[in-house]
Amino acid sequence: MGSAIRNSIRESDLAARIGGEEFAVFLVEAGRDKTLEIAERIRQNMRGVRRAVGIEDREITVSIGICVHGPGQTLNDILLRADQNL
């Protein structure tokens, strides 16, 4: 899953596992259209994960919550907002 995400983002972006099956992706200076494009690329690349691990008979779903970082927001604020936007 991690490599599917890494292959979906730009060099300037950051992806990290934040627990269990949850990942966070921080996009640097990405407008709305670029953010949606990357989110769709992540979703599409997750289809390849099924083939790579031999579970083609099972469905992998992706839920993506998007949040824009505002002045003074902490990491916890951002993650909470993104979680609310799933």
Rg, Å, the chain Cα set: 13
Q: Which residue intervals of the chain are DSSP H helices?
A: 2-6, 32-52, 75-84
Question: In this structure, what token pair is assigned to residue 64?
Answer: 């993506």
pLDDT in tens, 14-37: 999 988 888 999 999 998 999 999
pLDDT (average), residues 60-84: 89
C-alpha 25/C-alpha 59 separation (Å) is 22
3-state helix, strand, coil in the chain (%, to 5): 40, 15, 45
For the entire predicted model, the pTM comes to 0.78
Split into its structural domains, the chain has a count of 1
Domain that includes residue 72, residue range: 2-84
pLDDT in tens, 31-62: 899 999 999 999 988 877 766 556 666 777 78
